[in-house]
Amino acid sequence: MRFTSFTSPASFVASFVASFVASFVASFVASTRRIAVAPLIACLALSILVAGPAASFEMPEVNWEGSRAQDVSGKTLDLLIVRPLATARVIVGGLLFIPAAILSLPMGREGFSGAQEVFIEFPTEYAFDRKLGEF
């Protein structure tokens, strides 16, 4: 960890304003019905102390691509969120396929095959045939 100077005056001002507003809101909630001068001075002093180190902290560079953390988080996201939604998409696609098939019958076999691909085959392949963690 290392501390660096601000990259621009705008970053210092943004950090200063954000910490000042957060401190002011906290002191305002803690005070009763009126705004006193002492909490304002305390908020200003606190924001000067906090804004400098907080805004100048530089995060170390992390190589995310191809890491084990990326693999595990991708598989977890796929298992807990994407697969259940894809399964729901298969069910909804099956329900929507019936009217789509009826409407595509006048176009012949090509229309029916297109509706079958869009509503049945593609969602089923995405939900069940791909490897875990591949999107």
Q: Token pair of 31, please?
A: 């005070």
Give the percent of the chain with pLDDT over 90. Answer: 33
The predicted model gives 70-86 an average pLDDT of 92
- Whole-model pTM: value is 0.50
CA atoms within 13 A on the CB side of 35: 8
Cβ–Cβ under 8 Å, residues 46 and 19: yes
Give the residue among 70, 74, 94 at the shortest CA–CA distance from 82.
Answer: 74
The predicted model gives 59-77 an average pLDDT of 81
Q: Token pair of 68, please?
A: 């084990």
The predicted model gives 28-33 an average pLDDT of 56
Q: Sorting pLDDT into bands at 50, 70 and 90, what band is 4?
A: very low
Report whether pLDDT(109) > 80: yes
Q: According to DSSP H, which parts of the chain are helical?
A: 9-30, 37-56, 68-77, 83-104, 109-116, 122-124
